[in-house]
Chain A
Amino acid sequence: MNVSLPYRWNIFFRILIAAGGGMFVASFCVAVIATLFPAHKALATYSGMLLSFVIWLLMALFAFTKLPKKNGFRQSMSWLHTWTGLVVGWILFFIFVTGTASYANREITRWMQPERPMESTTARSAATQFGHAIEALRAHPDAARATNWTVDLVSNARTSSQLTARWSNGNAEQRGGNSPSIVLDVEDFSQAAPSEAARQTAGGRALLRMHYALHYMPYGWAVRIVGICTMLMFIAIITGVITHKKIFSDFFTFRPGKGQRSWLDAHNLISVISLPFYLMITYSGLLFFLYAYLPLGVPFAYGFEQEKQQAYYAELAQETASQRLIGRMAERTGGGGGGGQQGANAQRQVPQGMGNARPGGGAATPESTGPGPQEMRAPSRVGGARPEQNGNSDRSGGNSRGEVRPTGDEDPMTRRGLGAQSARYTDIVAIVERTERQWGHGEIRSVVLTTGRGPDAPPVLQLAPAWGDSLRRGGNSPNLQFNAYTGEEIVSPQRATPPLNERIAAAMIGLHEGLFARPLLRWLYLLAGLLGCAMIASGLVLWTVKRRPTRESGGFHLGHSLVEKLNIATVAGLPLGLAVYFWANRLLPVDLADRAQWEIHALFIAWLLSLAYALARPLMHAWREMLILTSASWFLLPVLNAITTNKHLLAALTAGDWVLVSVETVFIGVGLVFAWAAWKVHTKMQAPARRPRRKARGSAPETQTSKESIADDEVNT
């Protein structure tokens, strides 16, 4: 691997062209597109921004065509694929593992708070549930004075475990996750004793945050690092496709037990079968922080002054009729938005939101800045309190600013309370009944009642569906609203259909988050995410397998050895860390200060220790032992759970709590996968002598064809 100096300079300049030149050209294209459509400059700029990553990508590919020592385009692309993949492979693996877990973030949080009751399903209609909850609220002296009642029903919605009636007065503190509540038994509607407080946990939400904001690192930095990795992954995916001549026939091809050939097959197969998912997830990942990733785009089109850029955002908000601009990082906003906060700070908020076992409460959709279907929103359009979700803080900083916060709460006239008004209500239970008939059983997620804004304004009843009906984030049809006195539907003004580019961007982001995914689709998302992890892992291993130093080449190479060790530490060590994260959740003392933080520390400590272990042990031994350890730590999670809590797998099965059953089944499944991998490594270690013999004995033509076909696929160095 002797690399000459001119070659290094050559590559260095190409990287410079790809990165700097690519950004410059992409930004320039934004400006050109913007000037082409002066009438809709903001929209054109926006389209340019959405396209910019593709242009940047093309520039990068262009910069690496015709590499020295490579025959032609495809081999150059293959080189680019290899190295982009390797350079960011480990971070990408981290991003993919934590990101995949976040498709089950709320389910994970629920598992991590075993104090929360078993999730029940019920045949009770929404109207019955709502009727009893309203009675309870009416009877409660504090609730009767409140200006906002929220009833979370047991429904088909994700983690809707309890019938909960909450009340608040719309001040900021109470609008958080901590508003007082009554929990009703969904069968006999007796008031449940206040359940024991759920333990502090970083939960699934911390994993979700880590997958784009890493940890132990300033937010702005971390997000940009993840962005660079994402862009390189985008390049790796596209070059991978270009490199791959026989993409379609490799849909079905896997030849096991043939060393490098098998690794290549596995990598190809895994990559190809979920290709649409990878493309979607990578491209949409770039859109989340669009303006941070292409900082020159808007300045080129609008000018470098801050006011001019603000003018763009204002114009765009007007054109798209939305204050929630996609891709705008709320980095410098203090106050409400957690976006600008440093990791530790934002993390500390986590447990509060999750502390109360409110279905979909604090754990709700941290990525969704909008009124996702999961999140109940009081009618901000009509006024009144809007339940702020703690979980929103990450990215909503820039978004909540734009919204006009109704000031009706502070008006003393509205403080009469819903209880006093309730005498004048029409039969609101009948409205719920009617809506459920229309939407279907279990399809109402929650019902909110809010006092009107003015002294005589009627209270508003708002019904939220269990699931969204749009791919777009925030693109769902608005919740149904009714005048609680007359029962008339309040028809909110028809929202104008946003322009096409906005719809595409919102759909991409919606697809990335998958908030709309019902169980079947959620499983498929999880599968695709796991395949993504496997793709990265197999690619990393393939790199080393292909370059294992032979005896002729001296037998040792520092760089190669380092990659091998990092592979062990990441591919086996990170999943171990994740398992340890769950172990810590059960084993750390419940009253430990900063408990959530310590769970996260446990993850990284375990990861670090596995690196140390990988460095200390011989290669194959380290693989085998790490894989066994990882496998065992996942396998034993259900056992640990059974010992430390009363929500073990059998109990969950009997109670029909499918969320807990699923989580534990996945634990066992992951354990099985690693056990299988460990077994494979073990058998390979047991039979080292057989391979050369078989090679010698094996018919010459066969080895030749396999070599040929490898060369044929042109995945080479």
Chain B
Amino acid sequence: MDMNKNITASYFILSENAYNEINRILEELALKTRADLIIFSDSNGYPITSQGNFPDLDTSVMASLAANNFSATAEMASLLGEAENFKYLFHEGEKFNIYISNVGYNYILSVIFKKEVAIGLIRIMANKAGEAIHELLNREQQEEQTSTELMDSEFSSLLDKELDKLLKI
């Protein structure tokens, strides 16, 4: 197959330092807002990390639904002639609320909190956290990264083994 090698921008490596820093920012956000669960994901729905605890909630499913929910509203925004997507989504439930906001163009912050917590506080704190993460990721993207350590020739054979184990016919 004709595999064009020019699509080098098709992966992004998040360093361990940046990952830890994002966790620290989310931890602070959770502390200040008393949110139950905060999920930081990419706009494709991959849950990068989360803070807090919500029993029996599958964060990968939640992150996927939040990301696609956000993308759907982007289409609504474009139908209205908006130049950019809406900045946040807010869903109000009987016991819990969800506040979903964008972090730059590629990431999403979802905050799940009890009804008693003021939405104003969540908005301000989530936006502040979002900005801090955005700056951090911008710096991160500019740094040259390499993952040759991971993707050596041994990788393929180990992958084959794992796939055979998981998808045994």
Decide whether A and B assemble into one complex.
Answer: no
